[in-house]
Structure 1
């Protein structure tokens, strides 16, 4: 406990915690945004062309089985970056996020009622407009569950990047183990858990904002059940 108080009492350590936390957020959430975009694009392809669906699913499963540390090391040779560049973590986690979200995107799109799609087509929606105005919004409740899992996965995997010298809260773990000083390790674990919790709560809030009809349906349900009784 004395070690922990001493560590947090240092102004330099607090400044480092702020810097590493902000870097961790950047390295975790930027790939999440990119991964969502790519997964939606691949999901759209898989939804429209059945042969592509199997290829996309198999490829995403294979990509997700690649060890994260190996991918962090291989990425620089593929994109021409330096081994310590943060872009390596962003690219690697974008690949993981995309691979993780492809199936949830397809499941979410499959969950949209065919009658709704048929009705949108009947009133003149072209495929592109129908997808963004009707199918994708209705798929949000199912897709949100996959995004929440991907966010937690990214926040966890960013720490692995510290093993090759990139930033984030993983620096606290490597520093603590090297010096056999456990205060930064404890602080790093707590901050990682808090960050994952905060991001998850924000995603739930965003899901609720994007699906106002879900809230309306939940409010009406007790009234309906009472009337039925």
Structure 2
């Protein structure tokens, strides 16, 4: 998007001569475009985090189960994060094209850095005596994991998930490299054309999305761990 060529000079807060940072008229006039970019941003972020969760959990279980695999798995997850997004996304384009899938794969790989370690640390934070007690009560390995270890690991896992989610909101903007960056598309356009209202509006919405998702995750954690509230109030 560029400054409207048809706008009369000085008649709008985003005309060629005015170009204000704060411009509600821009938000009103381009509400549909802003909404579409925001929805795309949310969709890419949420799908990326879900894919990362689906990948990181089994990887963490493998790392815990087989000690010799822990270093390679954590090393791989950490190494992926060192690859610049400006290089990673173009590397995926030959396989996935200029699509949202390219962005989702890249963001999911980045999120593994935090989530694999969060799952691993969370599972290891479960006291050994709790495992022994559950085993003594007849819990098998699968039931022990799902009914005892995962619930107790939730605080650590959720802390990692919050970090991964907020960082993914920010990284989604890089998807503008392949034209699927959500609000990142507006930010890139605003920088290129020096469209201040577009740039600031998109940046503020990114912050709002990050804060909103973080608040939602905090509430989800409180719902999943009622015993922590009981302990705090006692």
The normalised TM-score by structure 2 is 0.88
Moved more, 50-59 or 151-160: 50-59
Shift of 1:5: 2.8
Which segments of 5 or more consecutive residues in structure 1 lack a partner in the other structure?
221-229
Cα pair 1:163 1:174 within 8 Å, conserved: no
Q: Which residue of 1 aligns with 2:141?
A: 127
**1:177 lines up with 2:191 in the alignment:** yes
Cα deviations by residue, 1:50-101 (Å, 9 ceiling, x for unpaired):
1111111111111111111211111133xx321x210000111111112221
Cα pair 1:64 1:100 within 8 Å, conserved: no
Output the CA distance in 1 between the equivalents of 2:177 and 2:106: 14
**1:2 lines up with 2:16 in the alignment:** no
Q: Which residue of 2 aligns with 1:141?
A: 155
Shift of 1:40: 1.4
Shift of 1:193: 0.4
Q: Which residue of 2 aligns with 1:40?
A: 57
Q: Which residue of 2 aligns with 1:81?
A: 96
**1:29 lines up with 2:46 in the alignment:** yes
The normalised TM-score by structure 1 is 0.90
Shift of 1:9: 2.8
Which segments of 5 or more consecutive residues in structure 2 lack a partner in the other structure?
1-11, 15-22
Which of 59, 66, 74 in structure 2 is aligned with 1:57?
Answer: 74
Cα pair 2:174 2:181 within 8 Å, conserved: no
The 4+ residue runs of structure 1 with deviation greater than 2 A are none
Cα pair 1:148 1:203 within 8 Å, conserved: yes
Output the CA distance in 2 between the equivalents of 1:76 and 1:66: 15
Q: Which residue of 2 aligns with 1:159?
A: 173
Which of 202, 212, 219 in structure 2 is aligned with 1:188?
Answer: 202
Q: How many pairs were matched up?
A: 215
Shift of 1:6: 2.9
Cα deviations by residue, 1:4-54 (Å, 9 ceiling, x for unpaired):
2331231xx101111110100010111111111211111111111111111
Shift of 1:156: 0.3
- Greater share of residues in helix: 1
Q: Which residue of 1 aligns with 2:7?
A: none
Shift of 1:206: 0.5
Cα pair 2:175 2:181 within 8 Å, conserved: yes
Cα pair 2:52 2:109 within 8 Å, conserved: yes
Shift of 1:167: 3.7
Output the CA distance in 1 between the equivalents of 2:207 and 2:75: 32
Which of 217, 221, 227 in structure 2 is aligned with 1:207?
Answer: 221
**Superposed CA RMSD:** 1.3
